[in-house]
Structure 1
Amino acid sequence: MSISPFRRFARAALVGVLAVSPLTAAASAQAAERTVTVAEGTNLAVTVSPRDGTVVFDLQGQLFSIPREGGDATPVGDDRLDPFWPVFSPDGRELAIQSYADGMFHIAVVAPDGSAVRQLTFGEHDDLQPAWSPDGTKIAFSSDRAGRAEIWTVDVRSGETRQITRGGAPKSQPTWAPDGGSIAYAAGFTIDSVDLATGAVRTVVPAAKAFLGAPSWSPDGRTLAFLRSGAEGRTLMVSESGTVRQVGTYTDVFPFPARWLSAHELIYGANGRIAVSDTLTGAAREVPFSATFTLDRDRYQRKAHDFDSRKPRQARGIAGPALSPDGRAVVFKALNDLWLLPIGDKPRRLTHDQFSEWDPVWSPDGKSIAYASDKAGTEDLYVLDVASGQEKRATSLPGAEVSPAWSPDGKKLAFEDQEGGLFTVDLAGGAVTRVLKPLTTPGRPSWSPDGKFLTLTVSAGQRNQILLVDVTAGTSRTIEPSPYGSVSTRGDDGPVWSPDGHWLAFSQDSVITLLPVDATGAPTGPSRRVTDEASDAPSWSGDSKTLLYLHNGTLRLTTVDGDAPRDVPLDLTFAQDQPTGGLVIHAGRLWDGRHREARTDVDIIVVGNRVKRIEPHREDRQRAGWQFVDASKLTVTPGLVDMHNHQEMQAKFFGDRQGRLLLSYGITTTRSTGDPAYRALEDREALTSGDRIGPRFFMTGEMLEGSRVSWEFARPVRDERQLTLEMSRARELGYDVIKTYQRFRNDWQAEVTEQAHEFGVPTTSHYLYPAVSHGVDMKEHLAGPSRWGFGFSHEGSLSGPYEDVIQLAARGGMPFSSTLFSSSSLLADDPAMVTDPRLRALYTGTQQQALHAKLLCAQGKGPCGFLDGTPERARKDVDVIKRLLAAGGVVLAGTDAPLDSTAVGLHLNLRSMAKYGVDPFQVLQSATLLSARQLGVERDLGSVEEGKLADLVFTEGDASHDVNRLMDVRMVVKNGKLHTVDELTAPFRTPPPGASK
C-alpha cells in the first residue's frame, strides 16, 4: 500500500521525538487481528441487482453482497470507501453510492465487486441519496450546493450537474418515476413530485401527523412505497390510487428506500433483518445473512504518567497571550494567574489568588491591562494599572462578563456575556450598551482602529466565519476568511484587527493568516499565510509590524512579511503539588473498587499522596505527626471518574467553582473529549501544581473535525499538511487522548490512531465501525450524533442497536461512554437534588435555571429540552448497556458535561443504570476501576489499594450496594489531601468582601 503524504510528513516530524521516546521498536503499536461475525444489522440499507438478483447491503458503513436467497456475505470494496445509500443501476453493472471518502458527501459509482470507483460530483457541497434515471444516464440526488437542500441531477458520463427544484421546503431522497418524466422526493411532511419538462410540482402523498421519507416508485409506476415515522415507530407504507396502507408488520424499518423486486414485492432493512414483503398478499420472508468483520486492534505501550515527581516542569499551558503595544512585553494566563513577561526577562505574577482570571488585554497606551475575574463571585471585568498595581472593577452585571477588548481611544471595553451577547462599557461612567443579541459561542472581539467596528469569529454556514459589527448601528455581516475556509477556533484564534487597520490576523488551517481589509473590514484581496507551523492566538504590536503567536506551547514572534519566527524565552516552571504529611482514616466501610463486597472497620494509612497500608482498625495507633480522619460512620470508595467531559466549555463562566463542584460530588478525575488546547493544558498544569482546586484532568485539545464545523472546541482540518501540524500539537502539548469528530475522514482517523499510538496516546470518536477496525480505542455515547446528523446512527435505531453493534463493541474490545441524557428523568425521583446546597453555592445562575427546567420536564410540569429524556428512554438506554455488558463489553460512566448537568449528571448516569437493572458492582466500576484502566492508569487509580494514589470519597450510607448514596459526599481526598464539602463551598456560599452580586 502506498504511503499517504500525511504519513510521510508525520514520519519525518516524529524522527526527533522518537529518538528520546520511551517507546522502542518492540513496544510500538502492534495489530491484534480479530474477526466478528454477525447476522443482524443496525440501520442497514439494501439494494438488488436487476441482472442476477444479488443483494448488496450497507452494514456499518461496509458494503456486503449475498445471493438472492441469502447466505454468507462477501465484502464489497474496503471500509474506507465510506459508502451510504447504495442503489444498483438499471442494467446492474454499477452501484451508485453517497461516499464520504474525500471529506465531503459526493455521488460516486462503483462496480458490484467494489472495483472501479468513480466520483461523479465534487466541491465543498454535500451531495446525498442517489437515485438512477430509468435509462441509466443520470443520477438524481439531494444537495446543498444552492445553499439549501434541493434536487439535482448529474450526467453519469459527462459529470454535468443540473438543478431540478427551487424554493419551498427542503427536499431530499429523490426517486425517479419509471417513465423518466418526473422525480418524487421527500419534503418533510409530504412527498412531492416535480415534472422534469414543465417544472410543475404536485403532492403525491399528502401531509399526515408523521414524517414521510424514502419514496420509491414501483416498476409500473402505479405504486409509491415510502416510510412513515410517528409514535408507532417507522413503518413501510404504499400509496396507490390515493389509498395509503401499511406493508408488513415491522415498526423499525430502516430509513432507506425499499427496493422493488417486482411490481408487488419489496426488499428492505427492518428490525435488524433483510425483509421481503408482498404488497398484494401481505406475505413476508427474511433473507438471512452472515457477515464477518476483520478488526485490527492495536497493542501499544501507553503514555507514562508520573504522579510523584517534584521535578520542575516547564509551563506550556499559556492561555490568551497578548503582545504589548511597544512590542516589549507579553501578558498571559498560566498556572491559574496572570503573568507579565518583559521579553528577555523573567515573568512576574500580576495576580496571585485562588480565583480565576481570563483574557488579559493591553490598553492602547500600554499602561493598563483589562481582564476578567470571578473574585467578586462571578466573572467581572477589571482594569489593572501595570505600574502601580492598582485596579478597579469595570463591570458588576448579573452573570458573567468576559473577553474584554479596548476601544482605540481607551475609553471603552467591548465584552461578551455568558449568553454570547456583545456589549460595551464606558470606563468613566460605567454605562453598559448592548451591541448585539446573543450569538452561539462567539470568539473574542477586536476593534477597528477608528472605533466604528468590532470583529469576532462566529458560527455561520457550518464554518467559523468572521463577523463585522457596526457598533453604532448594531448591524453585522459575515465574511469568509477564505473561500470555504474557517478560522481555526472560536476562541483565541482571532481575528485581531491590526492597529493600522490594514489587516485581520487569525489562525486558519492552524497557521497564522493575514486578510487585507479596508476601514470597514471588507476584504481587499486574498488572505496569505505568514507561518507554516502549528500557530495559534495571534496578537499585534502597536506599529502593526510584529505578530506574537503560540507554537506548541512556545511563544513566538514573526513579522507582517512572514519573516523567520523567533522564540520569546519563557522561564516559567512548576512542580507537582504533593502533601508531605500522613493521614490515618478510620473507615466504617471500605469498598475498594476491585471486590464486590465492602470491608468494615478498617484504617487506611496514607503517606504523602499514596495509600501505604489498609489494616483492621486500631484505637491505640500513635497519633503524633498524623492527621486522623474519623470516617467510622461513613463509607469510603475510590474517587469517581467522569470519562466524557468538556471541562473548558464553560470554564470562563464557572471560574474557581468548577473544580470545587466536581470534588464536592466525589469526582476526583475527569477526562476531556474536546476542549480548547491551551486552556485545557493550562487547567491541567494548574490542577497538577495545586494552583487550582479540582480533580485530576486528562486533557485533549480541540476535536479534529472535517471542513465543516459546529462546536467552538472542534478544529476543522482540510488537508494532510494541516493534519501533520495537528499531530505535532497533540504530541508536543502532551495530550492524554485525541478525539476525532463527526466529519473527520475514515482514512485520516486510521492514520491519526496509528500515529497517536506511536507516542502512547489513545484515540476516541463517535463511530464504532470502521473505527474499531482501525485501532480507535473507544467510542463516545451509546449512539451519538454522526456525520449523517442527529437522526441517524449506525449504532442505534428506533428499537435500539442490533447484534452487529453489540458484538463489534464487545468482541472488538471497544468501550462506550454512557452519556445518558435520558437519566435527567430521574430528577423526579429525588427533586431535592436540584436544591442541594452545593449547587446553590457552586452552580451559576444559568446552570441552576437549566437544572430546574430539567426537573420540571421530568415531573411533567414544564417543556422538555432537546437533550432531556423520559423514563422510557432511560430504560431503553440502560437495556443497551445491559446487552453490551452481557456480551462482555465495557461501558464507562461519562456525562458530556456541561451539555448535561456538571457533577450531578454523573450521579444521574449511575443511578439510571442501577435503577433499570445494571448490577451495582458494575455501575460502581464503570466510574472507578474500569475508567482508570481505559485511561491507562490502573496501577495508580481506580481502586483503594496499597501503593495506589489516595483519591477517596467519603459518603453516608452503603454506596457499595445503594448507588444513590454516592451523592451524599461528606469529604473527599484527592492526591492525599483532605477536603470537606463545607471547605470546598465556603468561598462561594457568602460573597467575597466588596462583592455586590
Structure 2
Amino acid sequence: MTRVAGAAVALALVVTPPVAATPDRPVRVTVSEGTNLAVTASATHLVVDLQGELFSLPRDGGRATSLGHDLDPFWPAFSPDGTRLAVQSFADGMFHLRTLAPDGGDVRQVTSGEHDDQHPAWSPDGTRIAFTSDRAGTEDIWSVDVRSGALTRVTTAASRESQPTWSPDGRSIAYVRDNAVESIDLTTSAVTTVVPAGAGFVGAPSWSPDGRRIAFVRSNRLFVAESGAVRQVGELTDVFPFPARWWSADEVVYGANGRIRVSDVRDGATRVVPFTATFTLQRDRYARKRPDFDSRRPRPVRGIVGPVLSPDGRTVVFKALNDLWSLPVGGTPRRLTHDSFYETDPAWSRDGRLAYASDKAGTQDLYVGERRVTSLPGAEVAPAWSPDGTALAYQDENHQTFTLDLASGAVRRVLGPQNAPGRPSWSADGRTLALTVSVAERNQILLVDVASGATRTVEPAPYASISTRGDDGPVWSPDGRSLAFSMHGTLWVLPVDQSGAPTGPARRVTHEASDAPSWSADSKWLLYLNNGRLKMTTVDGAVREVPVGLTFTRAQPSDRTVIHAGRLWDGRDPEPRTDVDIVVVGNRIQRIEPHRPDRPRDARYVDASGLTVTPGLIDLHVHQEMRSRFVGDRQGRLLLSYGITTTRSTGDPAYRALEDRESLDAGARTGPRFFMTGEMLEGSRVGWEFARPVRDERQLELELTRVRELDYDLVKTYERFRVDWQARVTGRAHRLGVPTTSHYLHPAVAHGVDGKEHVAAPSKWGFGFARERSAGGVYEDVRKLAAHLPITTTLFSSGSLLADDPGMVTDPRVRTLYTGQEQRALNAKLLCAQGRGPCGFLDGTAEQARRDVEVVKRLREAGGVVLAGTDAPLDSTALSLHLNLRALVEYGLTPFEALRAATLDNARHLGVASDLGSVEEGKLADLVVVGGDPSRDVAALADVRMVVRNGVLSTVDELLEPYR
C-alpha cells in the first residue's frame, strides 16, 4: 500500500543513526604455507609477497618479518646488489613502479601517470628497470632510468608484450608474447624467439646469471630453455606464475605447491625453504543496522529513477514504487500508471508528449502515452525523442541503438552492441546521438551520426569517466551548446558545437552527490538527483530543491494461514520434523505444533501433508538491476517460483536498486525481499556498468553520503579500489551499521571487511590470477585467513550439472518467465554441459566443479564459512542457486550443510538470523513448499509448489499466470 503525502509536509530522510565501531584486539594468524606467493632473493635474504604483504626472511628460511602491506605490492624483484627492492605497487590507484629498502623503508616512486606499469626487472648494472606498460595504448616493454625517471620504449608490436627479464650482459630483454618467449636486441631491435609457443600458459621468464638458460613457467610447471631445448625442472605441478630467481647458474628459488622451493635445474633436485609468517588482522565489533520488517509508519520515497523535466520546466516525471509519477514543481505527485507492470525510462518530447517503456504487453515495449509503438521480440527501452518529435531513439536487450520513425513504424539500427551503454540523447539538429560507452576501461562519450552510423569518442575530461553508463548522461541541451553529465560524483557541463565536438573544458556546476541530469527546454535549468532528493540548478550553480512529498508504507498481510506440513526441515536440525502445522499470523510464524486433524475455520488452510516445508532460500550475491529493465516484472516472479525469498545485491545502479527495494517492501512489485547496495566503488578505471569510478578523496566523501542517505544495506568495493580507501570505507560503513565486501581476502580481512565474494574472484591482476587460489587449490594461508572472512560460492562451474537434469531447461517456469534471450543462453549452457556445443566464458566443466567444491570443503574444515550466492544474472537467474547447492552435495557436502548455506548461514551473515533463515516461532514467514525431501535429496528443493514471502502465499501457477 502506498500513499501520497502533501507537498507542504516536511519529510526528513530516514537514515540509520551512527553507531560505534569498536576494534577488537588484533587477531594474529601465523602460517607456514602460501598460495600464489612470489619470492625474490638477495645474497643474504629472501623477500616474499604473501597475500599482498611483503615479508623478509633469512636465505635459509625461518621466521619472516613483515614489511607492511600499504604498498599493495606485486612482482617483487631485488636489485643486482641487493640494496633495493622493486615492486609494482597499486598504492595510488594505478600500477606504478616503486623501490624500497630491504627493510621496507625509504620508499621511492619510479613511474607515475594514468597508466599501468607492471612486472619490474632490473638491468644488470642496477641503473634501469624494464617493465610492462600500457602507456602507448597497448602493452609493451619499456625501461626507466631509476635516478632520472627517463623512459624508453623497448617494443612496439601490436600484440601484448609483458613480463620482461634482462639478459646478464645487458644487451637484450626477453619477454612473453603470444604464448612464446621472445628476446629483443637493445641495439639493433632484432627480435628472436627463445621459447617457441606451445600448449598451455607460458609466463614469468628469467635469465640465468651466465646467460645460458631461461627459466619460465608453463601450465603451472617450471621449465628451462637451453641451447634450443626445453625441459621440465622437478615434478611440482603448482608452480606459481612469478619468475624463478637464480641463486647461481644452476639453482633457482621460487614458489610452488604452497612452499618456497629451491631446485637444481640440472637434475631437478628440489628442497624446501621453511618459513613462518604472521598476519595481524583488525576485526571490528559493531552494531549491525536492524531492518524494520514490521512497522507500518510512512517512509519517504528515495528510490526515484530516471527523473525528467518537462520542456516548460514545470513538471517532473519519474519512476518510483513500480509506477510512473507526475510531479508539478512545488506541487503534489500524481500516479500516471497504477498497475503491477514494470514501467521505466520516461522521456518528454519538446511538444509535451511522454514516451516510456513497459512490459504490460508481455515484454518491454515502447509507448507514447497509451499507444504502443513497438512490438518487436525481446525488449525495447531507453526512448529518446528526436528534436522534431517524429522519431524515437531507443536500445534493445542486446545493447544496440535504433531509431524508430513514429509515422511509418520503420526501425533502423544506428549502433551495434556496446558494453551496457547509457541512454541516448539527440543533438539539437537531430543529426547526432550522444551516449556513454566503455572505452579503455573508462566511461566516455560516443557521438553517433544518425544517417551514416559513423562514431567519434569524446573524453568528458582527460582520463576521466562519466559516473555510470545509465542515467548519468550525457544529455544534450536543447540549444545544442552543451552536454550535461555526472562525473566525479557531481554534475558537469561540457560546451560543444552542433556536432558534439567540445569547444572548451567541462565545468562543474554542483558540489554535492548528483545524478540523472535533464534539461528544461530553454537550456537554463538542469534537474538532478541528490541522494534521493530532486533539485534544479542553473549552469551558474543556483540550486533549488523540488520537494517530492511521496511516502510509502510497508505491506503487511493481516490474515491467518495454517500450513499442514508432511515434513518440515526447519533450517536448524539435520532431520526434518513430520506432520506439523505451521500457523502464520500476518507476516510471522505464530506457532509450530503437531498436526490437528480439524481444519481451522478462521484461517486459510493449506494441505501440504504430502510435501516438505523449508525456510525460504537466500541468494547472497546478485546484481538484480543488471537486466531488470529488460526482464521487468518476470524477474521477481521467477525468483519466487524457485523458492528464493531473499536476495542481496553486491553492486547495482543505486536508484534502481533502491526503487526495487521500496517497491518490494510496499507490495507494489512481486518478488523476494531485497537487501540493496548501490554501484560498486571502483578506482579510476571501470568495467561494469554497475560500478562507480572514484577519482579522489573529495569524491570518496560524496560516495559515503550516498551510503548514508540512500540507506545502503551493504558497501562493495571492487577490483581497482585502493586498499587504504577500502579500510576507510569499512570504518565509516561500520559506524552506520553497514557491512562491507570485496573480491579480496587480504588485506581486506586485516581492514575489517566483512565478506569476500567468489571462491576465486577476478581481481585487478585479471581473471587469470587470484591470491586466494592456485592450480593446487588453497594452502594454509588462505585456509586460516578465510576462517575470519565468509566467502560466497558463485560456482559457475555448477552449470555442468545441467547434464544430469536437462529437464531444468524446459521447466514451465523457465519457458514462461525466462525471456527469449535468457532461454537461448540457458540452452547453450546445457549443450556445453553435455559436450555438444561451445562453452561460454564463464561456463565450467564437471571437473572444475569438483575442484571448486574441494576448495569449499577445505575452507570449511579450517573453520571458514562459505555462503550460497550466484552472481545472477551473470549466471542463470534462480536456477543457478539450485545448481550451486547440487554441486556442493555432488562433490562432498551433506545436504544439511548445503541447505544451511542458502538459509540460516546466509541470514546470519546478513545480520537478520532472528527474523529469517529458519522456520521458528516468531520469525518472518518466508517458506518454501516442495515435493520430495531436500534433506535427503537437495534436487527436490527445485520442485517448488508454493512459496510464502512475508506471510503471503503464492502457488507457482499464480506466479506464472500473467505470462501464460
TM-score, normalised to structure 2's length?
0.98
Q: Does 1:422 align with 2:415?
A: no
Does residue 273 of the first structure (1) align with residue 250 of the second (2)?
Answer: no
Q: Paired residue for 1:9? A: none
Residue matched to 2:154: 164
Q: 2:64 aligns with which of 41, 52, 73?
A: 73
Counterparts of 1:350 and 1:264, CA distance in 2: 79
Matched with 2:208 is 218
Match of 1:818 among 776, 785, 793: 793
Of residues 692, 698, 702 in structure 2, which corresponds to 1:721? 698
Q: Residue 752 of structure 1: which of 729, 739, 753 is its match?
A: 729
Distance 1:22 1:460 in 2: 40
Among 341, 362, 375, which residue is 2:327 paired with?
A: 341
Compared CA separation, residues 871 and 170, structure 1 to 2 (3 A): same
How far apart in 2 are the matches of 1:66 and 1:118?
Answer: 22
Q: Select 1:680's aligned residue among 654, 657, 670.
A: 657
Aligned to 2:4: none
* Aligned equivalent of 1:644, options 586, 596, 621: 621
Q: Which runs of 5+ in 1 are unaligned?
A: 1-16, 385-390, 990-997
Aligned equivalent of 2:141, options 141, 151, 175: 151
Distance 1:317 1:32 in 2: 39
Which residue is 2:296 aligned to?
310
Q: Which of 916, 929, 946 is the aligned partner of 2:904?
A: 929
SS of 2:882 mapped into structure 1: helix
d(CA) in 2 for partners of 1:516 and 1:532? Answer: 19
Q: Deviations over 1:256-288 (max 9, x none)?
A: 100000000010001111111101232110101
Change in Cα spacing, 1:521 to 1:632, as seen in structure 2 (3 Å) is same
| Structure 1 stretch displaced more, 207-216 or 420-429 | 207-216
Tell me the equivalent position of 2:24. 31
**Alignment partner for residue 186 of structure 2, among 196, 201, 207?**
196
- Deviations 1:197-234 (CA, angstroms, capped at 9, x unpaired): 111111111222233211111111111111112xxxx2
Of 284, 290, 295, 2:270 maps to 284
Of residues 586, 595, 604, the one that matches 1:608 is 586
- Paired residues of 2:394 and 2:403 also in contact (CA < 8 A): yes
AA aligned to 2:873 is: P
Match of 1:379 in 2: 364
Question: More deviation in 487-496 or 591-600?
Answer: 591-600
Kept in 1, the 8 Å contact 2:15–2:709? The answer is: no
Separation in 2, partners of 1:136, 1:493: 49
Where does 1:37-48 land on structure 2 (aligned, <5 Å)? 37-48=30-41
TM-score normalised to structure 1 length: 0.95
In the other structure, the counterpart of 2:431 is 452
**Kept after mapping to 2: 8 A contact 1:517/1:525:** yes
- Deviation, 1:32, is 3.9
AA aligned opposite 2:24: A
Q: Which residue of the other structure, out of 226, 243, 248, is the alignment partner of 2:234?
A: 248
Shift of 1:18: 14
Query: Which letter maps to 2:234?
Result: G
Which of 455, 464, 471 aligns to 1:492? It is: 471
Please give the alpha-carbon distance, in whole angstroms, between the structure 2 residues aligned to 1:866 and 1:978.
38
Number of the residue aligned with 1:3: none
The residue type equivalent to 2:241 in the other structure is P
Aligned equivalents of 2:382 and 2:240: distance in 1? 46
Letter in 1 for 2:55: F
Query: Secondary structure in 2 aligned to 1:908?
Result: helix
Aligned mates of 2:879, 2:373 — CA distance in 1: 34
Query: Aligned match of 2:567 in 579, 589, 592?
Result: 589
Q: 1:93 to 1:19 in 2, by over 3 A?
A: farther
Q: Answer whether contact 1:188 1:211 (CA < 8 A) is retained.
A: no
1:738 to 715, 739, 750: 715
- 1:554 and 2:533 matched: yes
What SS is found at the alignment partner of 1:173? strand
1:473 lines up with 2:464 in the alignment: no
Aligned to 1:85, the other structure's residue is in SS state strand
Select 1:521's aligned residue among 500, 513, 519: 500
How far the C-alpha of 1:625 sits from its partner, in A, is 2.4
- Following TM superposition, the consecutive aligned residue runs of length 4 or more in structure 1 with deviations greater than 3 angstroms are 17-24
Distance 1:21 1:898, change over 3 A: closer
CA contact (8 A) 1:29 1:754 kept: no
In the alignment, what sits opposite 1:7? none
Contact 1:29 1:758 in 2 (8 A): no
Alignment partners' CA distance in 2, 1:238 and 1:523:
54
- Report the equivalent of 2:766: 789
Describe how 1:806-885 pairs up with structure 2 within 5 A.
806-810=783-787, 812=788, 814-885=789-860
Report the 3-state secondary structure (helix = DSSP H, G, I; strand = E; otherwise coil) of the residue aligned with 2:283.
strand
Cα contact 2:895–2:934 (8 A) shared by 1: no
Report the counterpart of residue 558 of structure 2 in structure 1: 580
CA offsets per residue over residues 891-941 of structure 1, 9 Å max, x none? 110000000000000000000001111021110110000100110111110
CA deviation after TM superposition for structure 1 residue 19, in Å: 13
Structure 2, unaligned runs of 5 or more: 1-11
CA distance in 2, matches of 1:925, 1:894: 12
CA distance in 2, matches of 1:181, 1:448: 56
Question: What's the offset of the Cα at 1:650?
Answer: 0.3
What percentage of residue pairs aligned between the two structures are identical?
69
Query: What is the CA-CA distance between 1:673 and the residue it aligns to?
Result: 0.3
Aligned length in residues? 953
Contact 1:29 1:301 in 2 (8 A): no
Stretch deviating more after TM superposition (29-38 or 668-677): 29-38
Q: Mean Cα displacement is larger for which, 535-544 or 434-443?
A: 434-443
* Conservation of the 8 A alpha-carbon contact between 1:29 and 1:757: no
One-letter identity of the residue aligned with 1:490: R
Q: Distance in 1 between matches of 2:345 and 2:254?
A: 55
Q: CA deviation at 1:20?
A: 8.8
AA aligned to 1:807 is K
Number of the residue aligned with 1:665: 642
Q: Which moved more, 1:67-76 or 1:458-467?
A: 67-76
Mapped contact 1:820–1:877 kept (Cα < 8 A): yes
Residue among 880, 904, 907 paired with 1:905 = 880
**1:57 corresponds to which residue?**
48
Cα deviation for residue 798 of structure 1 reads 1.5
Question: Which residue identity lines up with residue 72 of structure 1 in the other structure?
Answer: R
Given the alignment of the two structures, is residue 135 of structure 1 paired with residue 114 of structure 2, yes or no? Answer: no
